Amino acid sequence: TSQPAVPSRIEFLPRNVAQNILIVLKRSRIDTNQLAMGLKRLDPAVCKISNDEAERLLEVWPSPKVLQEILDYADRGEDVSRLRDVEREVLPLARVLRMGPRLRLMVLAGTLNSRTEELLAQLARLQAGCDVLRSSVVLKDIIHVAVIVFNFTNFGTMAWKDEPLRGVDVQSLRRLQETKATRGDFPGFNMLHWLLKELLRHRPGLRLQDIEAEFAPVPMAAGVSLEQLRKEAALLRGDLLFVREELSDHRHAYEEAPSSASTPVLESRSLEDDVRPQEESESVSTPVIESETSAVPTTPEATAGQEDVARPPVNRRCTFMEAFLGRGANFASFAEAWMLGDERIGIPEMSHAGANGFGPTLAKDG
């Protein structure tokens, strides 16, 4: 007896594209139905996906023309089970409007907190190291002696005369140990040893552990890569521009239909506090709708059970993006002001009256 013919699967994706998509989905273990739900809600908690996984998925994602063929097939009411496995995996994501930008937004929402916290931690380490160098009495004493020796050795300038002294640059300070003495206190005696010897002569109670304790933040600050900070700041600036353009040029794609009041509320741990005040202000300012035939009572007791009917649904997705955009703009402004020295981490914007720098200012003549 002959075996019944197995119906062939319907294919729309090119074979190489289908193979690449399956590889990415299997390696990342992505549930496309869950991912599609997370993209519609812009909620990273619905489906966990890293930035690298999102980039790999977008690299192999098929063209809009091919995706439209799959959507047309499903919209005609054809049997979706006849599709090949990879087409069925792609179909939920193909139904999501602006799938690529949404995927980037969702990944950004899930990683923004950790990225900004790490950047602020790096800036704080750099700031702490700079504060130590600026306030260190030991370093000032060392530089004082180094300036005197530098001017006498290179220009013959005597510190006790009225001649102006020239400053010494950081690179010259770093090369002090390269200047060897012909007759030193011990073999390998150099200019840095001599500076420390002079420092101990003026401050005999100074100990090595005192210097190590005073300069403890400096090694951590020296480990901060300024180039990496610039790159991360540039990436955040690009993300900020991307969110601004999405909100400005494609706002309609993220707006909920008026009938979708029962759509689950988007909750994002990183932006929950930023979103809530705006939602409350919108709900308070929304007028109560009254019927032409019978006025609705406006007392709190009378309207307690009618708020959901009277008020239109809050567009939470756009509220999310606006809060996201505002937070990014605030951080970008802070980072720029920090680089210019107008902001400091951990310092309030306006110090209290009488604090250092905010005391009364008197003229020289009193």
Binned at pLDDT 50, 70 and 90, residue 299 comes out as very low
DSSP annotation of 366 reads -
Helix (H, G, I), strand (E, B) or coil at 205: coil
- Of 73, 84, 77, the residue nearest 10 (C-alpha): 84
Q: What is the spatial distance between Cα 48 and Cα 36, in angstroms, rounded to a whole number? A: 12
Q: Which pLDDT value is given to residue 85?
A: 92
Q: Which pLDDT value is given to residue 206?
A: 87
Instruction: Judge whether residue 329 has pLDDT over 70.
Output: no
Q: Which pLDDT value is given to residue 349?
A: 45
Mean pLDDT to the nearest integer, 188-205: 86
Contact 10, 73 (CB under 8 A): yes
Residue bearing the bigger pLDDT, 213 or 153: 213
Q: What is the spatial distance between Cα 39 and Cα 169, in angstroms, rounded to a whole number? A: 55
Binned at pLDDT 50, 70 and 90, residue 211 comes out as confident
What phi-psi label fits residue 153: left (phi over 0), alpha (psi between -120 and 50 degrees) or beta?
alpha
Q: What is the spatial distance between Cα 173 and Cα 194, in angstroms, rounded to a whole number? A: 13
Instruction: Give me the residues paired with residue 190 across strands.
Output: 180
- Number of Cα atoms under 13 Å in the Cβ half of residue 102: 23
What b/e string do you get for 56-71 counting C-beta neighbours within 10 Å, with b at 16 or more?
Answer: bbeebbbeeebbeebe
Q: Whats the size of the chain, residue-wise? A: 366
Give the model confidence (pLDDT) of 125-174 as tens digits.
Answer: 999 999 998 898 888 888 888 888 788 777 777 766 677 777 788 787 77
Residue 277: phi, psi to the nearest 5? -60, -35
Contact 92, 33 (CB under 8 A): yes
Helix (H, G, I), strand (E, B) or coil at 101: helix
Contact 78, 9 (CB under 8 A): no
User: Quick one: tokens of 224?
Assistant: 């901060």
Give the model confidence (pLDDT) of 88-117 as tens digits.
Answer: 999 999 999 999 999 999 998 888 888 889
DSSP annotation of 264 reads P
Q: Which pLDDT value is given to residue 317?
A: 54
Give the model confidence (pLDDT) of 257-279 as tens digits.
Answer: 544 434 343 333 333 344 334 44
Mean pLDDT, the chain, whole residue set: 75
Q: What is the spatial distance between Cα 88 and Cα 78, in angstroms, rounded to a whole number? A: 13
User: Quick one: tokens of 157?
Assistant: 């300038």
Residue bearing the bigger pLDDT, 348 or 330: 330
Binned at pLDDT 50, 70 and 90, residue 294 comes out as very low
Residue 66: C-alpha distances to residues 13, 61, 101, 102, 104 (Å): 7, 10, 19, 20, 22
| pLDDT over 90 percentage in the chain | 25
Contact 323, 278 (CB under 8 A): yes
Mean pLDDT to the nearest integer, 325-341: 66
Q: Which amino acid is it at 337?
A: A
- Of 147, 165, 146, the residue nearest 157 (C-alpha): 165
Give the model confidence (pLDDT) of 62-80 as tens digits.
Answer: 988 889 999 999 999 989 9
Q: Which pLDDT value is given to residue 22?
A: 92
Instruction: Judge whether residue 354 has pLDDT over 60.
Output: no
Q: Which pLDDT value is given to residue 284?
A: 36
Give the model confidence (pLDDT) of 19-63 as tens digits.
Answer: 999 999 999 888 999 999 999 988 888 988 888 999 999 999 998
Q: Which pLDDT value is given to residue 305?
A: 47
DSSP string, 282-320: HHHHSPPP--SSSPPP-SHHHHTTTHHHHSPPP-HHHHH
